[in-house]
Amino acid sequence: MSALPEPRIAATADVNEDARIGAGTLIWHLAQIREDAIVGEECVIGRGAYVGPGTRLGNRCKVQNYALLYEPAVLEDGVFVGPAAVLTNDFYPRAVNSDGTLKDASDWHAVGVTIRKGASLGARSVVVAPVTIGRWALIAAGAVVTKDVPDHALMVGVPARRIGWVGTAGVPLELDGECWVCPRNGERYRESGERLYLLVD
């Protein structure tokens, strides 16, 4: 297997010199990668996307156009973030303190969003920190996530609620007796206590 190429960064992108960008990663026009951010290998960062200071992305993540990843977000390998999706970091946002003075960095504590391996966020979805999105979960376009999401959950609405399960292929699972089955790749799962478990032959 050949070595991955150097990252490709559009001339109009703003990548801080203290950010770390992995091999094979592509950063499109007008994207901004802040100081101390880590972007893994073979990632795609879309036009106008924002990756905040110290935010960490694993390998093969896709961050679509104008998505906003505020620090200290953590994305594991293979995460998809749809266009204009937002990961927040301030549970009680205010522009000013009680005395009317402008808030600065010392007046609040950033809290982050964690997105586990293979999970996907639809376009214009919002994840209100602090929450964790489970592995291979799928958040529908426009949903607002306000609490932790289990692995493989299919979440829709405002606030987001689970309406089903998805497998690693990203399509809704179908109930077959006591098992949930992926119609695309045949994976079989068992549900127990609002959790889903892959059955291994």
Q: What residues does each domain of the chain span?
A: 8-167
Determine the average pLDDT of the residues in 14-33. Answer: 98
Determine the average pLDDT of the residues in 12-21. Answer: 98
Q: What is the pTM of this model?
A: 0.94
Question: How many Å apart are CA 128 and CA 150, to the nearest integer?
Answer: 16
* Average pLDDT for the chain: 96
pLDDT number for residue 77: 98
Asked whether the predicted pLDDT for residue 64 surpasses 90, the reply is: yes
132 token code pair: 């964790």
Q: Does CATH number 3.30.365.10 belong to domain 8-167?
A: no
- Coil, helix or strand for 81? strand
How many helices (H) and strands (E) the chain has is answered by 0, 26
- C-beta atoms surrounding 148 within 10 Å: 12
- Banded pLDDT at 1 (limits 50, 70, 90): very low
Determine the average pLDDT of the residues in 124-147. Answer: 98
Question: How many Å apart are CA 153 and CA 156, to the nearest integer?
Answer: 10
Q: What is the pLDDT of residues 73-117, one digit of tens each?
A: 999 999 999 999 999 999 889 999 999 999 998 888 899 999 999
pLDDT number for residue 2: 56
Question: How many Å apart are CA 112 and CA 145, to the nearest integer?
Answer: 13
